[in-house]
Structure formats: C-alpha cells, structure tokens
C-alpha cells in the first residue's frame, strides 16, 4: 500500500516536471514584441491586398471558425513587388511564436510575403485584416487600405510651412535678366535688319 502511494507521488512529480518543461521552452524562445504587419511590411518582397475566396479544410492548421492555414486570395492591389491575380497562401509562418497564418473565406487582407528571416528559407509572412475578424492571438491586427498605401506608397509631399513657396528672389531676378537680354537682342536684331534694308534712313 505504501509502495503504491509512493509510486503515485513519483508519477505526479514526474508529470509536473514534464509539464514544466513543455510550458517553459516555448516561452523562453518567444521573447520580444509580436511580429506585426506595420513593423515588417516594408521589409517584404511582395505586398498585396486581396479577398480570401477559398480555404482548404484539410490543411495543416484549421480552427472552429472555419479558418485555415491554406487559403486562396483574389488579389485586387499589388502594393509592392510583382504578383499574380490569384495567390495561394499555404502554411506560411508569421514567426516561430505566432505560428501559421490563418484566414477564412470573406476576409480582406493585407499580406506582406517574403520578409527576410534566417530561420525560414521562404521568408516570413505578415498579415493584417482590412475586413473580417482576425484570430484571437497576440500580434493579430487590423488596418485600412489607406494605411497600407501610406505605409508603403511614395512619400507624401511636405506640407509644412514654406515648403510650397514660389521661386526665390535670386531665381526671379535671374529670370527677369534673361528676359531682358532676349528682348534687347531681339530689338537690336530687328533694327539691324531695318538698316540693311534701308541704308539711307
């Protein structure tokens, strides 16, 4: 009887130690801020905006909300790089801590693919939801199309005071002198032609 109790206690202690190892290892590896679209989209080789038109229910990862780690995107806008009209996202990692990117039919996404990583040969993928509900995970984010274009598009012109003033005074003076010289040359040329035609005048 005592031996049985002892075995139970030993098994309990062993179980606690194993669970402790399972819990601690990922936490130690997953330190730092979440891998977000806003932070990493500028590092991507390809950035697109599009709608999820289909998902693979037999993919590596799915959830109860009909999300899948393999889904098809109908691309409506290629913001950076060269992309096709249809894009299949298949088991793309957001980062070692965030896991595979998942989406469901009807979601409208901003996807940044090919973010350089020493851990993943194909690069990492950052995603943000324009429409739809992202998974309830750390690092998942929403964004607007305007924000995507502002983030990755050409820099907006400087609208600070004085940035759109007219030409400076030296430029204006140089322009006036040029016009004056042209006018004098034109007048002199016409007078010379007149004298040549009417030498007795």
Number of domains in the chain: 2
Q: Write phi, then psi, for 179 (nearest 5 degrees).
A: -65, -40
pLDDT tens for 162-180 read 444 455 555 556 566 666 6
Identify which of 108, 81, 113 has the alpha carbon closest to the alpha carbon of residue 94.
Answer: 113
The rounded distance, in Å, linking the Cα atoms of 92 and 82 is 18
Rg of the Cα atoms in the chain: 33
> CA 84, 89, 90, 95 torsion: positive or negative?
positive
Please check whether residues 98 and 144 belong to one and the same domain.
Answer: yes
Quote the strand ranges of the chain, DSSP E: 46-55, 70-80, 86-90, 93-95, 99-100, 108-115, 124-131
**Would 66 be classed as within a structural domain?**
yes
Q: Which domain holds residue 17?
A: 1-31
Please check whether residues 10 and 63 belong to one and the same domain.
Answer: no
Please check whether residues 9 and 89 belong to one and the same domain.
Answer: no
Please check whether residues 47 and 134 belong to one and the same domain.
Answer: yes
Q: Write phi, then psi, for 23 (nearest 5 degrees).
A: -75, -40
Please check whether residues 49 and 140 belong to one and the same domain.
Answer: yes
pLDDT tens for 100-128 read 999 999 999 999 999 987 667 778 999 99
Please check whether residues 13 and 49 belong to one and the same domain.
Answer: no
**Would 89 be classed as within a structural domain?**
yes
Last residue of a domain, one of 152, 174, 190: 152
Which pLDDT score is estimated for 130?
Answer: 97
**Would 137 be classed as within a structural domain?**
yes
Please check whether residues 113 and 19 belong to one and the same domain.
Answer: no
Please check whether residues 136 and 82 belong to one and the same domain.
Answer: yes
Q: Write phi, then psi, for 136 (nearest 5 degrees).
A: -80, 70
Residues of the chain predicted below pLDDT 50: 2-28, 156-165, 195
DSSP 42: G
Please check whether residues 58 and 132 belong to one and the same domain.
Answer: yes
């Amino acid at each position: 009887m005592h031996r049985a109790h002892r075995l139970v206690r030993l098994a309990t202690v062993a179980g606690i130690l194993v669970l402790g190892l399972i819990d601690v290892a990922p936490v130690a590896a997953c330190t730092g801020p979440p891998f977000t679209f806003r932070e990493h989209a500028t590092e991507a080789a390809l950035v697109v905006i599009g709608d999820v038109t289909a998902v693979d229910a037999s993919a590596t990862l799915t959830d109860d909300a009909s999300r899948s780690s393999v889904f098809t995107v109908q691309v409506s806008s290629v913001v950076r790089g060269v992309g096709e009209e249809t894009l299949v996202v298949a088991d793309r990692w957001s980062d070692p801590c965030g896991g595979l990117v998942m989406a469901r039919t009807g979601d409208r996404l901003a996807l940044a693919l090919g973010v350089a990583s020493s851990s993943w040969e194909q690069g990492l993928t950052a995603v943000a939801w324009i429409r739809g509900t992202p998974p309830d995970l750390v690092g998942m984010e929403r964004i607007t199309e305007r924000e995507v274009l502002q983030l990755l598009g050409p820099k907006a012109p400087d609208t600070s005071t004085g940035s759109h003033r007219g030409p400076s005074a030296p430029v204006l003076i140089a322009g006036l002198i040029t016009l004056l010289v042209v006018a004098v040359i034109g007048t002199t040329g016409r007078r010379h032609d007149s004298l040549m035609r009417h030498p007795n005048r």
